[in-house]
Amino acid sequence: MTSLHADEAFLGHYQLSHDPFAPRVPGFKFFPAQRKPVLGQLHHLARYSQLLLVVTGPEGSGKTLLRQALVASTNKQSVQSVVVSARGAGDAAGVLRQVAQALNVGQADVDAILAQVVQLALTGQEVYLLVDDAEQLEESALEALLVLAAGAPEGRPHVFLFGETSLIAQLDQLSLEEERFHVIELQPYTEEETREYLEQRLEGAGRGIELFTADQISDIHESSEGWPGSINQVARDAMIEAMIASRSAVKRPKMGFNMPKKHVLAISAVVVVAVAAAWLMPGRNKAPTTGAPANEQAQLPLGQGQPTANGGAPAVEFAGNTQPMPLPLVGNSQPVMRGPLAEAAGGITEGDDGVPVEGSSATPPTVTTTAPPVGVPAGPAPTPAAKPAPAPTQVATAKPAPAPVAKPAPAPAKPAVAAAAKPVEKPAPVAKAAGGTWYAGQAPGNYVVQILGTSSETAAQSFVKEQGGEYRYFKKVLNGKPLYVITYGNFANRDAAVSAIKALPAKVQAGKPWPRTVASVQQELATTR
């Protein structure tokens, strides 16, 4: 699983009865902090004020929940609530049609609706007219609602508009200097209120605030800026990120930790002794002893070209020249270059932890040829005793110059290292794609849209490559494990980021992307470093 927004998969992981951060949950309780005083104020103004009442706040500030609480807290016997949505019907005709239908009025105009309101007032009933998404209302609809709010001497409806702050400027243009409406601006939660809000949501789902650490709560509050809708999204993302990280840790094999400690120590001691013995091998820097067995190969020391006793050219033979070259053993060869080299070679076969599997095409074999030390016999590999005849042939084919003969031995090792080193430079674009430098160069007050996160950098690279455009990702560390977070765009303010989310492809929107500040990304990058 790589998506931050996996379908309810985290419910079983955290043993939750339901998603605690869904918009509407079973047994939902209205959170009173910052909102209960506003609710009481709305009831008071509806009773004593003659003005149209406006509740404003950014998306996710809790306007719709406050409207629902206002309807739920009214006396159903004395108040008839009419809820209207401005989405898709923002002109005067569309709004008045919805009101007339709810009040059983034949004609959808202001006079007919006011007449019905007066009739209801005579029976002891008031009318609450509540409009959601009011920032989408056209000028004609706003003017009609202002007229309805003013009402008639015999009665009037109490009109409530719930919308974003842009609504205030529209009303100001219509009212000029006349006082025709009253504005209540919602405020974000403090960090302590954010913690209490999270606690209430989690307790409703059967768990408690212990699922979050104090640092996580601070991060959630900072990322959401204290708005409840964003708190829900950021908290849910944090839980899913932690779940993904814990599952990835379980899948990774614990190399070497299943072996008893005494065995590990014994193996380490053997390796140390073997390396020391190889380094201190007798005769490493000594000339060959006299009276060496006749069946051993002649070894030409570097820089010396003395002829042999038979007067011919030096007898030189490389170990293994008539046999297949064996694969390198541990301690005798160059290290196998994995990771970047395997990725550059293509065809990567990955295990659960992203490391190329042994034997796959991503693990290139490394074969090295190492010249024996000066004065040390080449070893028992050729066994010349069984084949005494080839000696004259070697004398005839050997080059008289000693230096070129001795130097080819280490030569193959150098190209192997150079060839292995060059592909290491190819992953450089990956660091650029991770976007650390790009995010650091942006204004902290700007916004990006977080799309998803994944514990696999390959998955993040594939997603960014597939979508292209303004998609990029950065690396963060969550619970000690790497997490690659994909973002989209760069926006001057939160409203622009929210608008951009609505224009994203449907499959991207299905992941519930959300806006966040560049400053929060920069902070995570600084922590990662």
Number of domains present in the structure of the chain? 3
CA–CA separation, 230 and 236 (whole Å): 10
CA–CA separation, 133 and 147 (whole Å): 19
More confident residue, 376 or 197: 197
181/195 same-domain check:
no
Residue 487: band (very low, low, confident or very high) from pLDDT cuts 50, 70, 90: very high
CATH of the domain at 55: 3.40.50.300
Tell me the pLDDT tens digit for each residue of 167-194: 888 888 887 667 889 999 999 999 999 9
User: What's the pLDDT score for residue 264?
Assistant: 62
User: What's the pLDDT score for residue 111?
Assistant: 92
CA–CA separation, 353 and 251 (whole Å): 8
Q: Is residue 469, in this structure, part of any structural domain at all?
A: yes
User: What's the pLDDT score for residue 288?
Assistant: 45
Q: Is residue 421, in this structure, part of any structural domain at all?
A: no
47/177 same-domain check:
yes
Does residue 287 register a pLDDT over 90?
Answer: no
Token representation of residue 510: 């299905």
Does residue 195 register a pLDDT over 60?
Answer: yes
Q: Is residue 245, in this structure, part of any structural domain at all?
A: yes
177/42 same-domain check:
yes
Query: Mean per-residue pLDDT for 102-114?
Result: 92
Phi then psi for residue 395, to 5 deg, are -65, -40
Does residue 166 register a pLDDT over 50?
Answer: yes
Q: Is residue 273, in this structure, part of any structural domain at all?
A: no
User: What's the pLDDT score for residue 313?
Assistant: 42
Does residue 94 register a pLDDT over 70?
Answer: yes
Residue 281: band (very low, low, confident or very high) from pLDDT cuts 50, 70, 90: low
134/175 same-domain check:
yes
User: What's the pLDDT score for residue 282?
Assistant: 59
CATH of the domain at 500: 3.30.70.1070
Q: Is residue 373, in this structure, part of any structural domain at all?
A: no
Q: Is residue 503, in this structure, part of any structural domain at all?
A: yes
Residue 397: band (very low, low, confident or very high) from pLDDT cuts 50, 70, 90: very low
Tell me the pLDDT tens digit for each residue of 234-269: 998 888 888 888 877 665 555 545 556 666 677 777
More confident residue, 65 or 287: 65
Kindly tell me the burial class for residue 362, based on how many C-beta atoms sit within 10 Å of its own C-beta (0-12, 13-18, 19 or more): buried
Question: Which domain, by its residues, includes 464?
Answer: 429-528
Token representation of residue 294: 């006749």
User: What's the pLDDT score for residue 253?
Assistant: 53
139/225 same-domain check:
no
Percentage of residues of the chain with pLDDT beyond 70: 65
Token representation of residue 83: 């809820």
207/179 same-domain check:
no
225/246 same-domain check:
yes
Q: In what order do the strands lie in the sheet with 79-85?
A: 79-85, 126-132, 158-163, 52-56, 181-185
Tell me the pLDDT tens digit for each residue of 305-359: 444 444 444 443 434 444 444 434 344 434 433 333 333 333 333 333 333 333 3
Q: Is residue 365, in this structure, part of any structural domain at all?
A: no
Token representation of residue 350: 């990955």
Query: Mean per-residue pLDDT for 389-395?
Result: 41
CA–CA separation, 125 and 262 (whole Å): 86
Instruction: Look over the chain and give the mean of its residue pLDDT values, rounded to a whole number.
Output: 73
Q: Is residue 233, in this structure, part of any structural domain at all?
A: yes
Which one-letter DSSP state was computed for residue 64?
H
| Chosen domain end from 185, 216, 231 | 185
158/42 same-domain check:
yes
60/159 same-domain check:
yes
53/137 same-domain check:
yes
At residue 65, the 3 state secondary structure works out as: helix
For strands 79-85 and 126-132, give the pairing: parallel
- Whether the CB-CB separation of 225 and 234 falls below 8 Å is answered with no
524/453 same-domain check:
yes
At residue 358, the 3 state secondary structure works out as: coil
Does residue 224 register a pLDDT over 90?
Answer: yes
| Chosen domain end from 185, 209, 230 | 185
59/179 same-domain check:
yes
Count CB-CB contacts under 10 A for residue 469.
8
CA–CA separation, 517 and 524 (whole Å): 11
| Chosen domain end from 132, 163, 185 | 185
